[in-house]
Amino acid sequence: MFKRPFSKRKKIVWIVAGSFIILLIALRIALPYILLRVVNRELTRIDGYQGHVEDIDVALIRGAYTIENIRLDKTGGKIPVPFFSATKMDLSVEWNSLFHGAFVGEIVVSHPLLNFVKGPTEATSQTQVDNDWIDVVDKLLPLKLNRVEINDGEIHYRDYYSSPRVDIYSHAIQIIAENLSNARHHKELLPSTVAASALVYGGTAGLKMKLDALNRTPTFDANAELKNVDMKNLNDFLRAYGNFDISQGTLGLYTEAAAKGGRIKGYTKPIIKDLKVVNWKEDKKKPLKLLWETVVQTVAWVFKNHPKDQLATRISFEGDVKNPDINVWYLIGQVLRNAFIQALYPSLENSVNINSAGDDKKQTILSNEFEKSKKP
C-alpha cells in the first residue's frame, strides 16, 4: 500500500542522477572543443601576431589540459617561419605545491621553436612580441604560474636578406624554472630558481639563476657559460656581416650578472682560441676578400695572448637596469691588458653576486681617467 510513492520517488532520483551523469558526459565531450575555441580566440589578441592551436586534450583527474601543435605567426605573411611553435604544451595544477598549502599551476612545453628574424624593414623582422602574450598566458592558466619546464627546445637567429643567408641556432634546450610564485614560502631574497642547458655547434651552454620572480624590479643573481663552440659553423654569419670567414677557432663565453634595487652589475668574458682567419687555398681567387681576411688575422694576432694562443677580453657593465653602462675606454684597456700582460682564465670568476649589484662606487683607473678627461 505504501510502496507506490516510494517507488515513484526512487524513479525520480534515478532520473535526476542519470540526467546529471549524461550532462557531465556531454560536458566532458564538449569541453575540449570549448577550450579550443577559447584558446584560439585568446591567441588572436596578441598585437601583430596570429596564433592557432590544432587540438586540445583534457585530463580532469589531474586538473590539466594539453595544447597540441601551437603556432604563433607574425601577421602579413612576409616571414616564412613562425615566431613560436611547440608540439605540446601541458598546463596543469602543480600537485607538489599542495603539500605547501599553495594552489598553483605549472606548464611543460615539448619541442618549442623560437625564431628571431632580422630583415630590412619592420614587416620582414620579428625580434619581439608585445607584452599582450603575458595576459594570454594568464588567461590560459588561471592559476598562479609556479613552475615551467621546457624540453628539447630550439632557438634560431635568421636573416633571409643577407648574403649568404644566416641561420644560427641552438638546440636540445632544457629549462626548468621553479618556485616562481614562491609557493614553498621561502624567506630568502631570491626564492626562485632557473637552470638551463643547450647544445651550440659542438659546444655546450649552461645557465644558473636565482631570482625574485614576484618583484617588479629585476632582482636576480645569474651566471652563464658557453664552451667549445666550433666557430667554423658561424661562417655564414661572419661572411654576411664581417665579409670574412675562418678556417679554425673555438669560442667560449662566460658571463655573471646580478641586479637589485634597479641597478645591474656584471661582466662578459669572450675567449677565442686557435683562431685562423686566412684560408689561402679557398680565397686566392678573391684578392679583395683575401686582403680583408689578412687584415682581420693581423689584428687578431696583435691582440692575441701568444703563449695561450687565445684572443680574449673582459667587458664589465654596471648601471641602471634599463640602460647598463659599458665603458668603452675600460674595454680597450682590458683588450690591451689581456694581449700584452696576461691571459684570461676560461671560466667564471664568481666575482659578481646579488650583494654587489647595488654597489656602484667602485671604478677602475681607466674609468677615473676617462671622467677626468671630460672635465674642462
User: Across residues 181-193, what is the average pLDDT?
Assistant: 87
CB contact at 8 A, 352 and 267: yes
pLDDT of residue 305: 56
Q: Which three cell numbers stand for residue 135?
A: 595576459
Instruction: Indicate the pTM of the whole model.
Output: 0.75
Query: Is the pLDDT confidence value at 299 over 90?
Result: no
User: Across residues 260-281, what is the average pLDDT?
Assistant: 78
Three-state SS at 127: coil
Q: Which residue has the higher pLDDT, 289 or 201?
A: 201
Q: Which three cell numbers stand for residue 341?
A: 700582460
pLDDT of residue 365: 37
- Is the link from the previous residue into 346 a cis peptide, with omega within 30 of 0? no
Which CA distances in Å does 147 have to 114, 144, 178, 225, 327? 20, 9, 5, 23, 38
pLDDT of residue 373: 40
pLDDT of residue 201: 92
CB contact at 8 A, 195 and 223: no
- Reported as a pLDDT band with limits 50, 70 and 90, residue 245 is confident
pLDDT of residue 2: 47
pLDDT of residue 279: 60
Q: Residue 42 has what DSSP assignment?
A: H
pLDDT of residue 27: 63
pLDDT of residue 302: 47
pLDDT of residue 48: 81
**Distance between CA 192 and CA 177 in Å, rounded?**
7
Amino acid at 262: G
Query: Is the pLDDT confidence value at 324 over 70?
Result: no
Query: Is the pLDDT confidence value at 238 over 60?
Result: yes
- Reported as a pLDDT band with limits 50, 70 and 90, residue 205 is very high
- Reported as a pLDDT band with limits 50, 70 and 90, residue 348 is low
Q: Which residue has the cell 691588458?
A: 337
Q: What is the mean pLDDT of the chain?
A: 77
Q: What percent of the chain has pLDDT over 70?
A: 70
User: Across residues 134-151, what is the average pLDDT?
Assistant: 83
Q: Which three cell numbers stand for residue 203?
A: 659546444
pLDDT in tens, 98-142: 777 788 999 999 999 999 999 888 888 888 766 666 677 777 777
Give 162's contacts (C-beta < 8 A, 6+ positions apart). 118, 240, 241
Residues in the chain: 376
Q: Which three cell numbers stand for residue 115?
A: 625564431
Q: Which residue has the higher pLDDT, 142 or 347?
A: 142
Three-state SS at 220: strand
Query: Is the pLDDT confidence value at 81 over 80?
Result: yes
Surface-to-core class of residue 7, CB atoms within 10 Å of its CB (0-12 exposed, 13-18 middle, 19+ buried): exposed
Q: What percent of the chain has pLDDT over 90?
A: 25
Query: Is the pLDDT confidence value at 270 over 60?
Result: yes
pLDDT of residue 257: 87
Q: Which residue has the higher pLDDT, 355 or 344?
A: 355
User: Across residues 226-254, what is the average pLDDT?
Assistant: 86
Nearest to 257 by CA among 224, 213, 212: 224
Three-state SS at 330: helix
Nearest to 351 by CA among 245, 268, 289: 268
pLDDT in tens, 16-70: 677 767 766 666 667 777 778 888 888 887 888 888 899 888 887 888 889 999 9
Query: Is the pLDDT confidence value at 375 over 80?
Result: no
Q: How many Å is the maximal CA-CA distance in the chain? A: 114
Number of alpha carbons in the 13 Å side-chain half-sphere of residue 205: 19
CB contact at 8 A, 276 and 293: no
Q: Residue 187 has what DSSP assignment?
A: -
Q: Which residue has the higher pLDDT, 311 or 81?
A: 81
Amino acid at 356: S
